[in-house]
Structure 1
């Protein structure tokens, strides 16, 4: 979060990715208070995820005058993925990948982090987090709650990356920053906006940087 597809990801969106476990870490006791990560996931519709059988979406990046896109079909209950781009169509099961499919999976994880990062907060393992109140968000400069997610240096495709997410009083992500492993300052900060409801999933469909020369957005979202 070096094959051609990985170079393209890094040059366009500079966002690292983790090889997530996609396992729920929710409390077994209804009386136990939810963690802030669970509150964020639930605010984005995580309780409805168990009903999702298929998710289609197109990942788009506009950077200055260039445009890039690729589309995905994901069957989460079977962990089956199909990627469609201008050059390739690749279909695979995430638990049984060859080297070519693993390269494609790096793109899948990257794009899924942009789409469903609130759910990664309860799917993922191998990170530490901290919470700070009343922090100035990097783009709007509004005062928000900042949660720092620091991944370990062992797991995933790009271990050691850090994310800082900025949530409002309703635990909705409004902005975030990505800090690559070894960096001290954010490599990229964007908005989380254009929220839409897809069968109970609250998804931010658009992300832009402060300068306005980078936009990452999702089209053709379909949930079954």
Structure 2
């Protein structure tokens, strides 16, 4: 296919594709004339992954390169490639690590992960952006005096595991590793507002069930 068709099928303007080519995010097409090249389905899948990273996930160019390098690293297994893609996404504010509340939060998070038996999460520890984000969130709860002990966090963690199963079931609908990486990025970003909305709707339902007075 020519550049115009790649643009149409990938949903990305030709000028943007040319920028991705210059930045090395897309491999060069097969040159057919001095000014034109041909592209194939591999380019289309890579374009969709780049779009998911940069346009949907708001991942910086430098981080996108790391994800793409991981994709091409044959020494990495599929789990490592997926982890690299999701770790590259913005994860929210992180603490400085030098406050007493953060030390207490880190101990709480470590105890929670141990109780759950989440060995991978414990092994990565603060290398994981999600782990650091959780520590920061628990530290904020600690400072403000809200419940955040292991027993308070455990129901959220168990719900999170059920969501992870659903997420990976969705990913496995896609056949190729590139498609799964694209979906991992896009669905992580796009489903987070879905989760927030459903949680708030569920709050309304449960509050109505518990507290609405029904006479007669």
TM-score range, shorter chain: under 0.3
More helix by share: 2
TM-score (norm 1): 0.22
More strand by share: 1
TM-score (norm 2): 0.23
Higher relative contact order (CA 8 A, sep 6+): 1
